[in-house]
Amino acid sequence: MQWRWLTRLAGCGVSLSVASALVAAVSAAGASAGVGGVVVQREIATAADEAYEKGMGAWDVRLARGSRGVVLFDRTLIEDDGPGAGSDSQWLEKDRSPVETIEGLTQIKKILHVERPDAVEAYLVVPEGVGEITVNGSPLARNPRTKYPPVPTALLKQGDNEIVLSCPDGEGRTVKVALREDILRDAPDRAGRPPRSFKSTDGGATWQPIAGEALVRLHLIQHRAEGRLVSPVIDLAPAPAAGAAAALPGAVALRSVKLDAEAETPEGTAVELELRSGPCPVYDAAQWSPWRQAAAAPPPGHRYVQWQATLRSSNPCATPTLRGVTTKAEVAVERPPWAARARIVTAENPEIRYTSMPFVYEEFRHPKLAELRAKYKLDDVVAPGKTEFEKLLLLRNWVSAQWKYRPATDGYPAWDADEILSQKKGFCVQYAIVYMQCCLSLGYNARFVFGYHPGVMDTGHEVAEVWSNQFNRWIMMDPNGNLHHGDTATDEPLGMLEIHDRMVAAYYGDKLMLWANRPTSVRGVPTLTTCRKMQTEADYDDPTTWKKPAWPRYAKWGILRMMPRNNFYAQERPLPKTQGFHWDWSDYWVWEDARTPASYAYRYRHITGRRADWDWTLNQVRFDATCRDEAGAVAVQMGTVTPGFETFLANIDDQGWTPSAATVVWRLHEGRNRLQMRVRNVLGVEGPVSRMEIQYAQ
């Protein structure tokens, strides 16, 4: 699973004690993990939709539309051109993708190989305005203005399916072609595929392969054969009684556990449950058990569990529906007498949100990042910043000033900040790449995101998002426009998905984001503001555009997409051929919600409406605290998901931050006791603070 290498937990941190009050590491099992103690029955019901949003991942499943539950994901893309898809824009002097013209007797034939032809619906992705289309010899009745003509599913067959495009009587159309060398550069595993795009100049009497693959794709609405949902970590320590003061839990030993699923399983479908358990609050492969049947005896000393639901279907038109899972457990609790004199006053213990996206992070210590940081003296650039956010703004200001906007029409540069800065040219794509890699060089994780808003600001725009430890969220940064957007009331910067939510709600209400429903007059969103350089603007006009009144820049964020990695130094490919001149690369991750028409994602493979997939968290500390037998001794375990993790830090009673092991003993004194926790990465950047305060009477 993609997060394993990021997780640092008990036994995996550095072995330095915090201070005299915070000493030796606790054993994984816990010294007082109850031979005797009180036996408690625990029953915890987790709704499937809650597990979907808050769990550790959801692969090939989605929320059921219109009802509570989780079902198998139902979108499949069939394509051959995606890895090498480029742009035929006339702006491009070099790197332009070739096209084939469909006109008169000239036709294009595409062979699409379909393993599972049964589908609820099917749509073709073809050039808009093609006069005639046949599928396996049968003509389609279609609106010539649609890009996505529906295909009767009865026309599809297992194996090769033949699609023929022609314009015998009307105006000709062009279809883009991905060159074979471009496809294989990004997808070498496709080397053995036969040519599947052909051209005829005699009305279909004879056919010849073309020099690549035509952009003709098939999007099927069909359920996957299998999908998985992993729940949040479930704490089996007994909760305090209603109305009771927050008490410290004692040592917990899991004796038995059982899982019950509430599910609907039509014929040919099934739901299977598995369980894993561990002694620490954040999953860690080194300490947790592997997946097993729930009836198996749990290992000693385990307090936490997770369940995994596997949904299966042998019918692409049918899916099981998981409504929820109930965890029933018997636990032994050993709580020493002194614990009655301690109570939790405050606790800030954030949940960790996990993405299902297989996002790959650049190593902060990559040599090219170090060279970038030194060559352009980026430490000096951000030095005047008094806060982390001010440093990120200063860095954005610097990137924005490095060259004047000039699209790379005479040769598309690599995704390399140094190359772009040396050439001093590029448009929004290159500004975003440079800012992202400059952030990485300083130890701040950033990612490449983009979108567009058809019907309002009908051009795409590329930006970056950076993880802010100060605000504990992803923040959208536009280094091309040298701006970001914030909350009008607080001026706090916002992430792209937050901006999207507010903008779409204001412009569309409960309607779909369709051309027919678009706002027809320039307007702002009262809850959103714009900050240029380091100044906030209360008005909605955008003075950088070529006309006034102008739509505010945040009006762009209707359709959102993301590159699923930021390790462009460690791994050059796969990459879109000419990002920004087109958006036909098939492997972006695309956001979809209740207001987004499904057709906007028909040309893509990865689609998600799970918020944690887009808005996952980094660098947070999640912890637990357990009474030990020794009076006043509290065992604290810390866990995190931190790329480039170096160490945990702890601060007891404001004595100062000190490196800490992941599992430590906190010895309480009379009165109010304060413990703060955070992480530090390998470049010295520190994460947000988690904290706990305990009142103790000796």
Q: Which of 72, 497, 90, 542 lies closest to 321, judged by CA?
A: 72
So what's the pLDDT on residue 11?
Answer: 29
So what's the pLDDT on residue 542?
Answer: 46
Q: Which of 1, 5, 22, 6 lies closest to 637, judged by CA?
A: 22
Distance CA 165, CA 126 (A): 9
- SS3 of 390, please? helix
Calculate the alpha carbon distances from 660 to 18, 42, 645, 692 in Å: 5, 33, 13, 16
Distance CA 81, CA 584 (A): 9
Q: Which residues of 377-408 are buried (b: 16+ CB within 10 A; e: fewer)?
A: ebeebbeeeeebbebbbbbbebbbebbeeebb
Single-letter residue type at 54 = K
Q: Which of 547, 556, 569 lies closest to 525, judged by CA?
A: 556
- SS3 of 667, please? strand
Residue linked to tokens 């609907």: 264
So what's the pLDDT on residue 4?
Answer: 27
CA angle, residues 409, 411, 415, in degrees to nearest 5: 105
CA angle, residues 284, 30, 55, in degrees to nearest 5: 30
Distance CA 76, CA 122 (A): 9
Distance CA 688, CA 690 (A): 7
Asked if 287 and 9 count as a contact pair (C-beta separation under 8 A), the reply is yes
Q: Which of 529, 566, 552, 532 lies closest to 643, judged by CA?
A: 566
Q: Which of 460, 428, 70, 54 lies closest to 273, judged by CA?
A: 70
The pair of three-digit structure tokens given for residue 640, joined into one six-digit string = 């995190």
Q: Give the mean pLDDT per block of 10 residues along the chain (698 residues).
A: 31 30 32 57 95 97 92 98 94 92 96 98 94 95 79 97 92 94 96 96 97 97 98 87 69 90 97 95 94 82 94 98 96 91 93 97 98 98 96 96 90 95 95 98 98 88 98 96 94 96 95 91 92 61 50 92 98 95 95 93 96 98 94 96 98 97 96 98 98 95
The pair of three-digit structure tokens given for residue 328, joined into one six-digit string = 């029933």
Domains defined for the chain, CATH in brackets: 38-74+225-334 (2.60.120), 96-221 (2.60.120), 367-614 (no CATH), 621-696 (2.60.40.10)
The pair of three-digit structure tokens given for residue 410, joined into one six-digit string = 């005479």
Distance CA 323, CA 320 (A): 10
Calculate the alpha carbon distances from 512 to 245, 503, 558 in Å: 47, 13, 11
Asked if 628 and 31 count as a contact pair (C-beta separation under 8 A), the reply is yes
The CB-side HSE value for 521 (13 A sphere, CA atoms) comes to 1
Give the DSSP per-residue string, 524-575: --TTEEEEETTEEE-S---TTSSSSS---GGGG-SEEEE-SB--TTT---S-
Sign of the alpha-carbon dihedral angle for 406, 601, 85, 355: positive
Residues near 647 by beta carbon (within 8 Å), at least 6 away in sequence: 13, 14, 16, 659, 660, 679, 680
Residues near 551 by beta carbon (within 8 Å), at least 6 away in sequence: 456, 457, 522, 542, 545
CA angle, residues 24, 26, 30, in degrees to nearest 5: 155
Single-letter residue type at 696 = Y
Single-letter residue type at 208 = Q
Supply the DSSP symbol for 285.
Answer: T
Give how far the C-alpha of residue 456 lies from the chain's centroid of Cα atoms, to the nearest Å.
26
Q: Which residues of 599-614 are buried (b: 16+ CB within 10 A; e: fewer)?
A: ebbbbbbbbbbbbbbb
Give the DSSP per-residue string, 311-335: EEESSTT---EEEEEEEEEEEEEE-
Asked if 68 and 600 count as a contact pair (C-beta separation under 8 A), the reply is no
Q: Which of 692, 685, 693, 690 lies closest to 647, judged by CA?
A: 685
Residues near 11 by beta carbon (within 8 Å), at least 6 away in sequence: 25, 28, 284, 286, 287, 662, 663
Asked if 585 and 82 count as a contact pair (C-beta separation under 8 A), the reply is yes
Q: Which of 518, 481, 513, 475 lies closest to 497, judged by CA?
A: 475
Give how far the C-alpha of residue 551 lies from the chain's centroid of Cα atoms, to the nearest Å.
28
Distance CA 316, CA 156 (A): 13
